[in-house]
Amino acid sequence: MEFGFVDILLVLLVVSGPTKALAYFAAKAGRMSLAERRTVGLNSVAVATAILLVFALLGPRIIGFFHVSVPALELAGGAILFVFALNIVLGESGKHDTEDGGGDIAIYPMAMPLIASPQGIVAIVVIISRAQDFADRVMIVLAVLVTMAINVAVFWGFASAAGRSDCSATICVI
């Protein structure tokens, strides 16, 4: 396989790591109790893990069912990443967070699309499509699980730090 474990882990940390979701979580965590923050963090990572593992295990079959080639998926993934990066550079943000609204944020938007992002799903499907043997597939699944374990650790640490009065939650986590 052309990618090693560290390469795959770094890609997954960029596209499915805690950075984007943590910013949203930090904005919403102030109104939650410690138990609620921990529950939201764990639930969002659990759902995102399930989504990413489905695509890690069944991704090539899913794209085969829809008659999508891996090069076409790479091109589409590149276009998605370009649009995402362009929005960041231009400072445009989505309008989906204009109202406070109740409800559980663990599944939407935390698990999907912030942790199990479209970029992460495309990356996993492309990488798993290039796996040559069972050991490569196990390495990819292991990289997904390590990424999700890092997400749990970051959210758990942030949930604990957000309730402390002696520091800003963001600074305490860092």
Identify the weakest region by mean pLDDT among 4-13, 79-88, 109-118.
79-88
Which has the higher per-residue pLDDT, 138 or 2?
138
Please write down the HEC assignment for all residues of the chain: CCCCHHHHHHHHHHHHCCHHHHHHHHHHHCCCCHHHHHHHHHHHHHHHHHHHHHHHHHHHHHHHHCCCCHHHHHHHHHHHHHHHHHHHHHCCCCCCCCCCCCCCCHHHHHHHHHHCCHHHHHHHHHHHHCCCCHHHHHHHHHHHHHHHHHHHHHHHHHHHHHCCCCCCHHHHHC
Mean pLDDT of the chain: 86
**So what's the pLDDT on residue 161?**
83
Torsion sign, CA atoms 56, 60, 65, 67: positive
**So what's the pLDDT on residue 90?**
87
Distance of CA 148 to the CA centre of its chain: 8
Percentage above 90 pLDDT, the chain: 60
Q: How confident is the model at residue 164 (pLDDT cuts 50, 70, 90)?
A: low
**So what's the pLDDT on residue 93?**
58
**So what's the pLDDT on residue 103?**
61
Q: What is the pLDDT of residues 8-55, one digit of tens each?
A: 999 999 999 998 899 899 888 878 888 999 999 999 999 999 999 999
Q: How confident is the model at residue 7 (pLDDT cuts 50, 70, 90)?
A: very high
Structure tokens at 1: 């396989």
**So what's the pLDDT on residue 80?**
84
